[in-house]
Structure 1
Amino acid sequence: MLRGLYDWTLSLAARKSAEWWLAFIAFVESSVFLVPADVLYLPMALSRPDRAYRYALIATAASVLGGIAGWFIGHYAYEAVAKPILEFYGKYDEFEALRTSSGIGFIILMLVTSGAAHLPPIKVVTILSGVIGVNLLLFIALAIVARGARFLLLAWLLRRYGETIREFIEKRLGLIASAAAAALILLYIAVRYAH
């Protein structure tokens, strides 16, 4: 099922309506969808490097708006909407553990790492931010920085290195970004519990 969903998302890059699909996928990824917008963004930017930054801005704006939707789902519709979504993806227990043990500083760190490296998935953090009541303006600012940095970095890499960087981005950049995000989270935990 996941492979079929991935392939379908990838096929959208070839359509004339690809920019609209990119905005849609980036929006729903931040609150309910499993496949990251990168799956659509990368082939679009590779096929039209002259539009890589345009696509990055579209993905960033839609992702932030989707994150705001996730925040509202968490804040106002946790039982009715968020809990079934989390249960569907098998993330409910992880979510509950995060909700009961996380302070605002840790949520902010997770928002940055999930926005930049999908660790943990962005939809979990946006909903969690709403549930625990992270200030909405702070949430929006952090989402813009985290998601914007990710998509603009990809745009820069694709414009600078083109097709030669594609394999690296698809196979290794996510791993490197996830390792860096994990290191940040571990550093935060170590500092927090050292005091």
Structure 2
Amino acid sequence: MGGQNNFLKRLYDWVIHWAQTPHANKALFTVAVAESSFFPIPPDVLLITMGVSQPKKSFFYAGLSTLGSVLGGILGYFIGWQFMAAIGEKIIHLYGLSHKYLQVQHLYRNYDVWAIGLGGFTPLPYKLFTISAGAFKINFLSFVLVSLVARGLRFFLVGGVFYIWGQQVQKIMERYLNWLATGFATLVILGYICIKCLF
């Protein structure tokens, strides 16, 4: 477990460093696409970092995150639909979520496409829901629309916080940057581990 935690921390640091480069927008979009289909680090970490540095662009960043995440969700859906055995199962197994696959199937049977709203808005592993949606042949148009709403709500809520209170948040971040960075990285890693254990 320690090796996995160290890997996630290094991966988190690598993602965060892109916020300080001229390629930040592209990095945010790319991470949003990747996280919805195969990547472990959510785009929120970049969205928050970029929102703090430029609060007035927070809604733009939220839009990039939403668009990238929905496109990534479509990629995840396609993987589950056409390549579940060859690729989808390997991605799910990689994150230790194989035993949760049937639980997600149960959610889709009971709530149909609305189950994707749960995976899209909450910290649950969205990639599991997108890949499973394709494997279970959930209506594609409904899948895209619910994903757009769920991911949009999540990212625009985060963006709204920084748009409204950006300067105050920035002052706090600058004063306690080291502590907050350490704490947030810890929360990301612990959240990932808890999801694996509890979901």
Q: TM class, shorter-chain normalised?
A: 0.7 to 0.9
1:173-184 to structure 2, matched below 5 A, reads none
- Of 59, 62, 65, the residue aligned with 1:59 is 65
- Matches of 1:107 and 1:37 in 2, distance apart? 26
1:134-173 to structure 2, matched below 5 A, reads 134-162=138-166, 164-165=168-169
Are 1:106 and 2:111 matched, yes or no? yes
Question: Is the CA contact 2:76–2:131 (under 8 Å) kept in the aligned structure 1?
Answer: yes
What is the total number of aligned residue pairs between the two structures?
171
Q: C-alpha deviations, 1:94-123, integer Å up to 9, x for none? A: 113433x3344435343112211122x100
> Unaligned regions of 5+ residues in structure 1, if any?
179-195
Alignment partner, residue 7 of structure 1: 13
- Of 56, 77, 85, the residue aligned with 2:91 is 85
Task: Report sequence identity in percent.
Answer: 32
Q: C-alpha deviations, 1:101-151, integer Å up to 9, x for none? A: 3344435343112211122x1000001111111100000000000011111
Question: Is the CA contact 1:104–1:134 (under 8 Å) kept in the aligned structure 2?
Answer: no
Question: Is the CA contact 2:52–2:169 (under 8 Å) kept in the aligned structure 1?
Answer: no
RMSD: 2.3
TM-score, reference length from structure 2: 0.79
Question: Is the CA contact 2:55–2:167 (under 8 Å) kept in the aligned structure 1?
Answer: no
Question: Is the CA contact 1:116–1:146 (under 8 Å) kept in the aligned structure 2?
Answer: yes
Q: C-alpha deviations, 1:26-74, integer Å up to 9, x for none? A: 0000000000000111111110112111111111001000000000000
Q: Flag the 1:163–1:115 CA change in 2: closer, same or farther, 3 A.
A: farther
Question: Is the CA contact 2:80–2:131 (under 8 Å) kept in the aligned structure 1?
Answer: yes
Question: Is the CA contact 1:107–1:129 (under 8 Å) kept in the aligned structure 2?
Answer: no
TM-score, reference length from structure 1: 0.80
Q: C-alpha deviations, 1:67-87, integer Å up to 9, x for none? A: 000000001100000011111
- Matches of 2:102 and 2:70 in 1, distance apart? 24
* Divergent runs of 4+, >2 A: 96-99, 101-110, 163-168
